[in-house]
Amino acid sequence: MTAAIEVVDLKKSYDAVEAVRGIGFTVGSGEIFGFLGPNGAGKTTTIKILCTLLQATSGTARLAGLDVAASPNEVRRRIGVIFQDPALDDRLTAEENLMLHAVAYRVPRAERHARIDESLQFVDLFDRRKDLTRTFSGGMKRRLEIARGLVHRPDILFLDEPTTGLDPQTRARTWEVLRGLREKYGTTLFLTTHYMDEAENCDRIAIVDHGTIVALDTPAALKQRVGKDLVAARTADPAGLSRLLSEKYGLASTPADGGLTFLVEQGDAFIVKLLTTDRPPLEGISVRRPTLDDVFLSLTGRQIRAEGAEGTAAKIRAMVRRRAG
Amino acid sequence: MIEVVYALWRRDMIKFLRDRRQLVTSLSRSFIWLLAFGLGLRSSVRIPAGGADYVSFLVPGLAAMTVLFGSMFAAISIVWEREFGFLKELLVAPVPRGAIVAAKILAGSATALIETVVMLLLSPLVGARFNPLGALASLPLLVLFGMTVNALGIIVAARMKSFEGFGAVVNFVIQPVFFLSGALYPIAGLPRGLRAIVLVNPMTYVVDAVRGLCIGHHAFPLLLSTAVVVVSALILAALATRSFSRMEA
């Protein structure tokens, strides 16, 4: 079986800035593959190159065996793209948007209506098909875009930050739709995100920072790499506990609200050990497995935050969020 | 290919017909000129040849102006669509760039034509007198001119980084083409320098031909004017396709 996506040493520079500095990876057919990283890491640039919207400075990218630079039209026919910013014509109805797409992708005339209806039902928007999309909420627009991406049955669906700016319920619903998509049509999904919990939905994740892949594995394996669990202890005497941890176990701890936190291997066993030792009184103690946040932190020394925006629309969205929040 | 062009053309037409503001804006622009300029100057301006009154003299010029503004704005909408998304959907679709440009040009000139026809139909209300058959015969020329302007607009839009440059387009493209075209005054008897500029402006020939057909007053042979319009439409359409294909999203 040919790989759905095959990228070798991909680079892209804008003037003096190197946005992508030698990225390489392979995505299998039917896989859900995620690019995780902060804004400005090169995620959107990579997706644009794969979707034939940008020319790479060097390196190759093949989709279903086709070179994106050499045969862009062949590639375009096989992919669907859902952009970070809605790319709907908001003065057309939901149905009209999908029909335009069906014609552009040369869906056979006889099948168009059936496919459009099926896609709209799949994302639960069939009842709103005659409404102008400008009357839709953000979540509905995103679902409509997913429906549109399905009309021509692409082999690979690209999603750039598919749930940014959506509320948690809508995000969960969007993911139900995406997983259903893979089950029903075997579609390969390639997505970018800076949400850790969203990355958990992927089969494999490439963690991207400053234009390179710093790690690539399944979410579970990535978390295992951190190797340690995070223990949070509540105590009235954090200084005393901190001294005990460093002197007796050689563990560094960080002060936290009402106590402290520290990283340790096999946290559950360590807690038992700690409880049976002579120690300052504890009010509570918890242990949790590392999250992808901790993975990113351990790999890059920084936390992923939605800092800096990638475009005007992102800025506007951020502004709206600030006002709403 | 033809089906895609038609679908994209239809999309622009649907939006034009759904949102009447564009038509109202265009009509009010023409009628402000007709009322304030035409009626205002009618008694003091005497057109040398033909003896037409100034309002009737102005109508062909304003018909071309309507096409100029309408078709240019239609093309500049590409910048808006690039900034707010929809253009990307088109650019990742397996559609030749030429088809997108063709649809834009055809739709832009068609909507501008509708605006012009409504303007011509209403202009007798303010005292304009012209040959209705001549007006009908000038529509193909106005459509061609609409395509030319739309193609020019696409070239401009492909170079614009954001919608903020819109004011500059009005200032440095639309207004010079309009004011230096003979739409508002006869070109006979212009100072030599001004006349030279007016003569290289394709709009001058459109206005002259339409005026000839409508009120029998013209400076160039109809064939020459038609040739100028056809050639400039072809050149600009080719250049528009090229700049649109090179544009990065």
Give per-residue pLDDT as tens, A81-107. Answer: 988 888 899 889 999 999 999 999 999
Q: Is A79 on the interface with B (CB under 8 A)?
A: yes
Average pLDDT on B158-180 reads: 86
A177, with CB counted inside 10 A (0-12, 13-18, 19+), is middle
Indicate the average pLDDT of chain B. Answer: 90
- Interface test with chain A among B17, B21, B89, by most A beta carbons within 10 Å: B89
- Decide: A19 and A212 in contact? Cβ < 8 Å: no
Q: How far, in Å, CA of B231 to CA of B202, rounded?
A: 10
Nearest CB to A100; choose among B11, B19, B92 = B11
Give the number of other Cβ atoms within 10 Å of residue B217's Cβ: 18
What is the arithmetic mean of pLDDT over A150-168? Answer: 86
Cβ separation B94–A76 shorter than 8 A: yes
Question: In this complex, which of A79, A85, A101 lies closest to B85 when CB atoms are compared?
Answer: A85
Q: Please, what are the domains in chain A?
A: 5-218 (3.40.50.300), 228-289 (3.30.70)
* Residue of chain B with shortest Cα separation from A109: B3
Q: Which of B11, B90, B94 sits opposite A77 (nearest CB)?
A: B94
B41 versus B195: which is more confidently predicted?
B195
Q: Of residues B84 and B91, which shows the higher confidence score?
A: B91
> Are residues A103 and B3 in contact, defined by beta-carbon separation less than 8 angstroms?
yes
8 Å CB contact of A48 and B162: no
Question: How far B90 CA sits from the closest chain A CA (Å)?
Answer: 8
The reported pLDDT for the residue numbered B49 is: 63
> How do residues A32-66 score in pLDDT, each as one tens digit?
999 998 888 888 899 999 999 888 999 999 998 99
Task: For chain A, positions 88-107, list CB contacts with chain B under 8 A.
Answer: 88-89, 91-92, 96, 99-101, 103-106
Cβ of A89 and B86 within 8 Å?
Answer: yes
Q: Say how far apart CA B196 and CA B201 lie, in whole Å.
A: 9
**In Å, how far is B81's CA from the nearest CA of chain A?**
9
Distance, in angstroms, between A7 CA and closest chain B CA?
19
- Judging contacts by C-beta atoms under 8 Å, the chain A residues touching residue B4 are 103-104
A85 and chain B in contact, CB less than 8 A: yes
Residues of A in contact with B88 (CB under 8 A): 53, 81, 83, 87
What pLDDT was estimated at residue A154? 92
Asked if B93 lies within 8 A of A101 by C-beta distance, the reply is yes
How close is the nearest chain B Cα to the Cα of A89, in Å? 6
User: Helix crossing, B132-159 with B222-246: angle to 10°?
Assistant: 30
Q: pLDDT tens digit string along A110-154?
A: 999 999 998 999 888 999 999 999 999 988 998 899 899 889 889
Position A267 pLDDT exceeds 70:
yes
Which residue among B95, B162, B248 sits closest to A54, beta carbon to beta carbon?
Answer: B248
pLDDT, position B249: 56
Highest mean pLDDT among A280-294, B31-45, B195-209: B195-209
Q: In this structure, how many other beta carbons lie within 10 angstroms of the beta carbon of residue B21?
A: 7
A8 in contact with B at a CB cutoff of 8 Å?
A: no
Contacts of B55 (CB under 8 A, 6+ apart): B34, B38, B39, B42, B123, B126, B127, B128
A78, closest residue in chain B (CA to CA): B94
Judged by CB atoms closer than 8 Å, whether chains meet at B85 and A313 is answered as yes
Q: Residue B183 and residue B176: Cα distance in Å, rounded?
A: 11
In this structure, are strands A32-36 and A204-209 parallel, antiparallel, or unpaired? parallel
**Any residues with CB less than 8 A from the CB of B86 and at least 6 apart, and which?**
A87, A88, A89
Cβ–Cβ pairs < 8 A, chains A and B: 70
- The answer to whether residue B133 scores a pLDDT higher than 90 is yes
